[in-house]
Amino acid sequence: MVTTREPGGTALGETLRQLLLHEKMHLETEAMLMFAARRKHLAQVIEPALARGDWVISDRFTDATFAYQGGGRKLALSKLAALKQWVHPHLQPDLTLLFDVPLEVARARLDASRNLDKFEREQADFFAATRTEYLRRASEFPQRFRVIDSTQSIADVHRRLESMVGGVGGIGGV
């Protein structure tokens, strides 16, 4: 099993991650950098792992780009769809776990955990639009999305995950 994250997952991806999380930039630049990092990630990490028959678990993928840049930032979804078609036309997650939590709960958890990046410092309307787009995608692709009520304790969420993916190499650290 391979665990990874986006943006990131490669040396170039981690460099782009720092820019994406901390630098102001034009919305379309932000989206294209997300997909640039993703293309490198696919070529260097994900596609080789899948070719070996490994499972790949990634903290975020293209649905996050649709949610954050499309929903939250209001970039036309058609532009993101074109980038997705170019970067990975035939590759889609088999399972997407959406940890759904109201903004107030998310804010309380984030404020207590660390210094916030530029996305985490956004206003409530950004997060409402991001959540709406995530839930819209979950509705559009119900065969692969599982929405998890994450207002529960971590232990309860962990038990729910275990029942969902049961025994797939363990889920410690999720």
We report the CATH number of the domain holding residue 47 as: 3.40.50.300
Identify whether 67 is part of a domain.
Answer: yes
Average pLDDT of the residues in 131-151 = 96
* Mean pLDDT (whole number) for 115-141: 93
Report d(CA 20, CA 110) in Å as an integer: 18
Question: How confident is the model at residue 174, as a pLDDT?
Answer: 33
The confidence score (pLDDT) of residue 79 equals 98
Q: Residue 47 falls within a domain, yes or no?
A: yes
**Would you state the pLDDT for residue 163?**
85
Structure tokens belonging to residue 109: 């958890």
In the chain, how long is the greatest CA-to-CA distance?
43
Asked if residue 22 belongs to a domain, the reply is yes
Per-residue pLDDT at 168 exceeds 60: no
3-state secondary structure of 71: helix
Domains held by the chain: number: 1
Which pLDDT does position 112 carry in this prediction?
Answer: 66
pLDDT tier at 171, thresholds 50, 70, 90? very low
Provide the percentage of residues in the chain whose pLDDT is more than 90: 78
Cis (ω within 30 of 0) for the bond into 142?
Answer: no
- pTM of the shown model: 0.89
Q: Is residue 50 part of a domain?
A: yes
Residue 147 lies in a domain: yes
Residue 53: which domain range?
A: 2-165
